[in-house]
């Protein structure tokens, strides 16, 4: 019971902390009220303890502030040659059985209990928390966004990754700037839209911001929400993921139970907090899940037993992710578009016969996520070749194969990361960029440029936007990326 109370008190501050960020743009419908209460068995004595603790934790949440961090060198990881890097409204009860016991119950209690605590009294909040069971509102599918995942994937067009920022590994709010990037501002996100990007992918590492029970730190959740709001209010499509958390969802047989618990716990909390954001917000289950630290971390033969087993575990973890979001029955989560990767998010492993898409309670809402810095010798390998001409377009043949396996069977495809490192070959990179995005756009595949801020000649330098001065480092290259979608009829704004 002490553990349950401790987790409950920790979670009660999440929504209060989110509210304290100063976000006045309510995402849920004005004419509806969402009231989800968990079935939590707590005695009157325990209730008194929770009430006492709630007063303290809610107050602490209101006082939390962001603080800048010192910059340090960004993390980069070289990859081997073979790798391509990186319907109507209804009511139903909440609390899916697949979510771990304490995190599930306390997360459902958090939003309403904390909201009431901040607007009424602590006693009322606690009473709400300990209520038995009620229903959670389910919103109808959004209209005018996309009729299925193929249309949705095409709508995203050219996207931009907020790289090396909220995904930076470290503790506390200072981790956002620990890899050398400045704190994200609303002006930056608005500039991204002005530059012609239609979408933004917001990589977030959660594992360094959770406690032993996988409860997400309230201040961290609030900061992520603040950045998501910048993008949401700017009219961008958004992909929100779980990024450098591979140690938590390590896809081995031995680690599967722990991995599935982490996926359930974290995605239950994330999807609960963002339930009332419409379908412009996409959830992506994992980032490049793989057997880190092994000789097959980035590549293995298609029939390698250990590698195939890892793919099968990723398939199961993707299913846990989909089930967790869907069974919550809250907001837009029943109809939200969900993205799932294969091993290392590699197109080759997505095309592996062991990889299958999850089952879903609604058709046409699942998207395949791949990363493709392709061809590797041009796009990433600093010792590879530097010249590009159209005769090399056949090296992008994986795009056609993705169409055959997924798009032709009703699944949208998004290349969540791509780019070509700077080899002092801007003209060739421009030619490659136009060929790449033109081909992807012709199949309705959207591409998200990885931007880690690096602009020097070398490996894994994919910088495009100067986040301090709000300028484009390589305007010709950005225009080449955009031109691929313009020529396909998926026209973006001209780069500023």
- pLDDT, residue 131, reads 30
Question: Is 108 domain-assigned?
Answer: no
Using alpha carbons, list the distances in angstroms from residue 30 to 27, 225, 230, 270: 9, 20, 20, 22
Question: Is 1 domain-assigned?
Answer: no
- CA gap 350, 355 in Å, rounded: 6
Tokens of 457: 């000649």
- pLDDT, residue 143, reads 61
Question: Is 34 domain-assigned?
Answer: no
Residues with Cβ within 8 Å of 337's Cβ and at least 6 positions away in sequence, in order, are 146, 149, 152, 279, 282, 283, 365, 366, 367, 412
Question: Is 381 domain-assigned?
Answer: yes
- pLDDT, residue 235, reads 97
Catalytic site includes residue 137? no
The per-residue pLDDT for range 43-77, each reduced to its tens digit, is 333 333 333 333 333 333 333 333 333 333 333 33
CATH code, domain carrying 321: 3.20.20.80
Beta-bridged to residue 371, according to DSSP, are: 417
Length of the chain: 496
The per-residue pLDDT for range 397-435, each reduced to its tens digit, is 999 999 999 999 999 999 999 999 999 999 999 999 999
- CA gap 182, 362 in Å, rounded: 40
Question: Is 16 domain-assigned?
Answer: no
Question: Is 5 domain-assigned?
Answer: no
- pLDDT, residue 16, reads 58
DSSP structure string for 142-170: PSSS-SSHHHHHHHH-EEEE-TTSTTS-S
Question: Is 39 domain-assigned?
Answer: no
Among residues 243, 244, 279, 460, the one annotated as catalytic is 243
Catalytic site includes residue 288? yes
Catalytic site includes residue 86? no
Domain count, the chain: 1
447 φ, ψ (degrees, to nearest 5): -125, 135
Q: What is the pLDDT along the chain (496 residues), one digit of tens a residue?
A: 443 444 345 445 555 555 555 444 444 443 333 333 233 333 333 333 333 333 333 333 333 333 333 333 333 333 333 333 333 333 333 333 444 544 554 454 444 443 433 333 333 333 333 333 334 578 877 667 999 999 999 999 999 999 999 999 889 999 999 999 999 999 999 999 999 999 999 999 999 999 999 999 999 999 999 999 999 999 999 999 999 999 999 999 999 999 999 999 999 999 999 999 999 999 999 999 999 999 999 999 999 999 999 999 999 999 999 999 999 889 999 999 999 999 999 999 999 999 999 999 999 999 999 999 999 999 999 999 999 998 999 999 999 999 999 999 999 999 999 999 999 999 999 999 999 999 999 999 999 999 999 999 998 999 999 999 999 999 999 999 999 998 765 543 333 3
- Domain extent, residue 327, equals 84-98+138-487
Tokens of 158: 């050219």
Question: Is 240 domain-assigned?
Answer: yes
């Amino acid at each position: 019971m002490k553990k349950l109370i401790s987790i409950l008190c920790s979670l009660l501050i999440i929504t209060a902390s989110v509210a304290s960020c100063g976000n006045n743009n309510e995402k849920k419908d004005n004419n509806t009220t969402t009231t989800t209460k968990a079935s939590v068995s707590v005695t009157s004595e325990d209730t008194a303890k929770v009430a006492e603790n709630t007063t303290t934790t809610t107050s602490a949440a209101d006082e939390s502030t962001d603080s800048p961090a010192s910059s340090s060198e960004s993390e980069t990881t070289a990859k081997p040659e073979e790798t391509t890097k990186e319907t109507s409204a209804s009511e139903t009860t909440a609390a899916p059985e697949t979510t771990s016991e304490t995190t599930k119950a306390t997360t459902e209690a958090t939003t309403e209990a904390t909201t009431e605590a901040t607007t009424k009294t602590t006693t009322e909040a606690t009473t709400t928390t300990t209520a038995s069971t009620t229903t959670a509102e389910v919103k109808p599918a959004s209209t005018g966004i996309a009729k299925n995942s193929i249309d949705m994937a095409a709508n995203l067009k050219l996207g931009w990754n907020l790289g090396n920022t909220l995904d930076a590994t470290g503790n506390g709010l200072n981790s956002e700037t620990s890899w050398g990037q400045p704190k994200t501002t609303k002006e930056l996100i608005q500039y991204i839209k002005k530059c012609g990007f239609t979408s933004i992918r917001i990589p977030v590492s959660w594992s360094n911001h959770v406690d032993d029970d996988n409860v997400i730190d309230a201040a961290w959740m609030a900061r992520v929400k603040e950045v998501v709001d910048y993008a949401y209010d700017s009219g961008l499509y958004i992909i929100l993921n779980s990024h450098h958390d591979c140690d938590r969802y390590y896809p081995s047989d031995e680690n599967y139970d722990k991995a599935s618990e982490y996926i359930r716990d974290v995605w239950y909390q994330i999807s609960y907090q963002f339930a009332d954001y419409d379908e412009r917000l996409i959830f992506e289950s994992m980032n490049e899940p793989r057997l880190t630290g092994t000789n097959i971390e980035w590549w293995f033969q298609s029939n390698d037993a250990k590698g195939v087993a890892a793919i099968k575990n990723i398939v199961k973890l993707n299913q846990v992710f989909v089930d967790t979001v869907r069974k919550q029955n809250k907001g837009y989560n029943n109809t939200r578009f969900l993205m799932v990767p294969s091993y290392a998010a590699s197109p080759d492993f997505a095309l592996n016969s062991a990889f299958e898409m999850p089952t879903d309670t609604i058709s046409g809402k699942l998207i395949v996520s791949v990363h493709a810095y392709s061809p590797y010798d041009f796009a990433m390998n600093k010792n590879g070749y530097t010249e590009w001409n159209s005769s090399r377009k056949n090296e992008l043949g994986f795009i056609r194969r993705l169409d055959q396996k997924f798009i032709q069977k009703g699944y949208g495809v998004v290349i969540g990361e791509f780019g070509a490192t700077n080899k002092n070959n801007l003209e060739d990179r421009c030619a490659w960029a136009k060929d790449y995005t033109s081909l992807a756009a012709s199949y309705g595949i959207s591409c998200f440029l990885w931007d880690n801020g690096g602009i020097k000649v070398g490996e894994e330098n994919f910088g495009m936007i100067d986040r301090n001065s709000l300028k484009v480092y390589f305007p010709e290259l950005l225009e080449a990326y955009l031109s691929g979608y313009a020529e396909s009829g998926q026209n973006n704004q001209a780069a500023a």
